[in-house]
Chains A and B, each alone.
Chain A
């Protein structure tokens, strides 16, 4: 049996310390050095027994714990940190508060650090609680007056522990404590005296404020987080502390992104982009691939947000570029979860880009990206992400249906929304449920345009109805209005195939609900759109009951729409609404004040033709001229004097010929034959009014999916 001598025990302690020192600076062979250190300390403990050499025993135990702590950074984190905690705990049998207060405080600090790290792998709440307890014990000795530096360091550690604890319980309370602890550190850690520690604590403080902003006083706390990052950056310069500089710039960027949600979106996102750009000076693809990918992903988010307020196309292109860079590192094999998240974001960027250019191509790319994300975001493994991506996929197919393969793509969109609704249930995810149901309703409305109109509109109405279970007027007024508008559109379509009066009545009711929110002052554009739709509904209703009253209401509604849809601001909508107004007046002329109302109809068509030129809008030009021709024919019929009659007939002929020319150009055979019929009748000097459709009759826009 081998006996360890006192000398060798002493040499072993020294060797252990030296191996730890080497492991601290030398990355390669680190594990071997730490294993040798552990072995050396255990050898020393073979001689330094608790009974005979309590102080040396405690010293060896603390050293052993330190070695285990370092070893945990290389291998078997949980196991080695457990051993470290055990060794520190044993050392405290000797290093008591009364007997060895300074050693006690130092060991408690180390114990706290070990618990803090252990909390990262298991028992987060419990271990963070123990870490806080240990730091508290250390602070019984490390007072501000007697040990200012140790006091500041321990307070900083305490802040970190509270920061971690805030993620699992009592967020606000613990973040408050973290901020207080950082504040205590600053009593010692000044910029001039302890620049590095000052910067480190400012970083922690910034993190605490950033997280606190998630629960209260978002703007104020994010502002404080930004200030803290700025203070840290006074020390963490690019040349002196590149890694910390990059990390702090990333935090700064994140804070600005958070702030952009509250206001000054453009300015704040611009600052965030600058900060991420600074971080990328350090986080290069070669040197820090993972950080590079994270920063590029963040940059993508910032560009995506900025595209909402400025240079949509350019910023979305930059966003797709940034996500593409992130995907160089975040591959499916290496980082499946990040890969899926980034692919989902890339899909969103392409979907946004599709709104401004190359719709078909970009939506195709978005669909591919969502498909990639769904390789990871499976229903079983990531149900919430699965639902989110399926919803996005549905939106992409919905958009694609507007440019090609309408039926097939709407079918796919409906399928995707259906998948999303497997997770987004009314009880579990009410808001997402409502959003997806609203989108589903929109898809069914589109599908109704190509097949099984009645059935699909019924499904659309049911889906919008489901959405309205959540989107109530009091809880989600804007979404309520949007869904009511969509519901009104669906009822209006249904009225074309069955129960016209009943469904148009519901249409009017739905638009009326939407207008409770879409007021002229608050949402002028939505107000105008809904008023125009309401006018159309009244015009339809006029065909089945109370013609005069309903046409009067339609005219009133169009008049409201035109308060917003001015020639200068919204020329296309102005022309469409003027056309509708003209049709309404023409209809009213059949009931009362024929000449006067026909005059107003002609005036309205004239306004529409200011926008609908043959070159720019041939179909609108043709349709309005056709309607104008009919109105003039009616006017000729009603004219009392031969001169007026001849003038009206002459103008009708001119309008109809313009219409014919435009229909000929656009190849509308059906309408062409109708124009010819009217022209023949005119030639026979007998103008006859026929019921007309309005080709340029803008439908209510569907609100964008939230």
Chain B
């Protein structure tokens, strides 16, 4: 992922990730403890003590473990820093502002696979939320707004692929809302209206006046 993907909202979300900080804390404690044992800080306090073999062994084991742990930790951290992972994380937590920024960045960078995947997952999350709320219009309005926001950006950037992805997902959600026995009319209208608005917006941005 390009560095540009780390928008302020994305970074903010990363900083607030408790799992990330938990992992860092474990690592720091492990390394710090190992170093403390190896350095034997007691000697600097003039309380001479004889190094005992078992203490040295323990320190070595811990240092080795910390060194071993560094590789999976780095890998895990790198994985968690992948945009698709972040997108999933944002969707799971219904954090739509950073998600919107992430998708906008995807459009800007032409990362259509990421965008399509994210939109698809967002649609799945929308279905789950609608299911929980029995097709509440408010939920549909909020989610349609996210799709529409991304769609508008796609129109402004002149990205037909992105517009297609957004529109396909909005249509899928209309279909989902009308699938018997659901028939959530209000929710379906929200997604339908978003699709209409998106097409209208595309017309405004993509049709050029000729002299």
Q: Chain A interface (Cβ within 8 Å of chain B)?
A: 1-5, 7-8, 10-12, 14-15, 18-19, 21-22, 25-26, 28-29, 33, 36, 40, 43
Main secondary structure of the interface of B (DSSP, over half): helix
Whether the Cβ atoms of A2 and B209 lie closer than 8 Å is yes
Given known pairs A14-B164, A15-B202, A40-B199, the reply for A25 and B174 (CB within 8 Å) is yes
Q: Which of B170, B192, B199, B206 contacts A29 (CB 8 A)?
A: B192
Q: Which chain A residues border B175 with CB–CB below 8 Å?
A: 21-22, 25
Given known pairs A11-B163, A14-B167, the reply for A26 and B206 (CB within 8 Å) is no
Cα separation A307 to B173 with both chains bound (whole Å): 55
- Pull 8 A–B residue pairs with CB atoms less than 8 Å apart, ordered by A: A7-B206, A11-B164, A11-B199, A18-B170, A18-B195, A21-B171, A25-B179, A26-B174
Interface residues of B in 150-178 (CB under 8 A from A): 158, 160, 163-164, 167-168, 170-171, 174-175, 178
Q: Which chain B residues border A7 with CB–CB below 8 Å?
A: 158, 160, 206
Cα separation A7 to B174 with both chains bound (whole Å): 25
Q: Give A688 Cβ to nearest chain B Cβ, in Å.
A: 95
Whether the Cβ atoms of B207 and A3 lie closer than 8 Å is yes
Whether the Cβ atoms of B195 and A19 lie closer than 8 Å is yes
Cα separation A25 to B167 with both chains bound (whole Å): 16
Measured CB to CB, the nearest residue on chain A to B179 is A25
Given known pairs A8-B207, A10-B160, A25-B174, the reply for A18 and B168 (CB within 8 Å) is yes
Whether the Cβ atoms of B192 and A33 lie closer than 8 Å is yes
Q: Which of B167, B174, B208 contacts A3 (CB 8 A)?
A: B208
Q: Which chain B residues border A21 with CB–CB below 8 Å?
A: 171, 174-175
Cα separation A25 to B210 with both chains bound (whole Å): 38
Whether the Cβ atoms of A18 and B208 lie closer than 8 Å is no
Cα separation A15 to B174 with both chains bound (whole Å): 14
Q: Give B94 Cβ to nearest chain A Cβ, in Å.
A: 26
Whether the Cβ atoms of B163 and A22 lie closer than 8 Å is no
Q: Give B137 Cβ to nearest chain A Cβ, in Å.
A: 14
Q: Give B170 Cβ to nearest chain A Cβ, in Å.
A: 7
Q: Which of A2, A11, A33 contacts B160 (CB 8 A)?
A: A11
Whether the Cβ atoms of B203 and A18 lie closer than 8 Å is no
Cα separation A3 to B210 with both chains bound (whole Å): 6
Cα separation A21 to B210 with both chains bound (whole Å): 33
Closest 9 CB pairs of A and B: A8-B206, A18-B171, A25-B178, A15-B199, A3-B210, A7-B160, A14-B164, A1-B210, A10-B160
Q: Which chain A residues border B170 with CB–CB below 8 Å?
A: 18
Given contacts A14-B167, A25-B178, 5 further A-B contacts (CB under 8 A): A4-B207, A11-B199, A14-B160, A15-B167, A28-B185
Measured CB to CB, the nearest residue on chain A to B167 is A18
Q: Give B184 Cβ to nearest chain A Cβ, in Å.
A: 11
Cα separation A276 to B207 with both chains bound (whole Å): 58
Q: Which chain A residues border B82 with CB–CB below 8 Å?
A: none
> In this assembly, does B189 line the interface, its C-beta being within 8 Å of a C-beta of chain A?
yes
Q: Give B38 Cβ to nearest chain A Cβ, in Å.
A: 64
Whether the Cβ atoms of A5 and B207 lie closer than 8 Å is yes
> In this assembly, does B196 line the interface, its C-beta being within 8 Å of a C-beta of chain A?
yes
> In this assembly, does B103 line the interface, its C-beta being within 8 Å of a C-beta of chain A?
no
Cα separation A8 to B200 with both chains bound (whole Å): 11
Whether the Cβ atoms of B207 and A22 lie closer than 8 Å is no
Measured CB to CB, the nearest residue on chain B to A40 is B199
Cα separation A36 to B198 with both chains bound (whole Å): 12
B36-49 interface bits toward A, Cβ cutoff 8 Å, 1 = contact, 0 = none: 00000000000000
Cα separation A58 to B170 with both chains bound (whole Å): 27
Cα separation A18 to B160 with both chains bound (whole Å): 14
> In this assembly, does B102 line the interface, its C-beta being within 8 Å of a C-beta of chain A?
no
Cα separation A19 to B202 with both chains bound (whole Å): 15
Whether the Cβ atoms of B202 and A8 lie closer than 8 Å is yes
Q: Give A185 Cβ to nearest chain B Cβ, in Å.
A: 28
Cα separation A14 to B199 with both chains bound (whole Å): 10
Q: Give A45 Cβ to nearest chain B Cβ, in Å.
A: 14
Interface residues of B in 176-194 (CB under 8 A from A): 178-179, 185, 188-189, 192
Measured CB to CB, the nearest residue on chain B to A32 is B196
Whether the Cβ atoms of A29 and B171 lie closer than 8 Å is no
Q: Which chain A residues border B206 with CB–CB below 8 Å?
A: 5, 7-8, 11
Whether the Cβ atoms of A1 and B209 lie closer than 8 Å is yes
Measured CB to CB, the nearest residue on chain A to B175 is A25
Interface residues of B in 53-76 (CB under 8 A from A): none
Measured CB to CB, the nearest residue on chain B to A33 is B192
Whether the Cβ atoms of B171 and A22 lie closer than 8 Å is yes
Measured CB to CB, the nearest residue on chain A to B174 is A22
Q: Which chain B residues border A2 with CB–CB below 8 Å?
A: 207-210
Cα separation A242 to B171 with both chains bound (whole Å): 27
Given known pairs A1-B209, A11-B164, the reply for A26 and B178 (CB within 8 Å) is yes
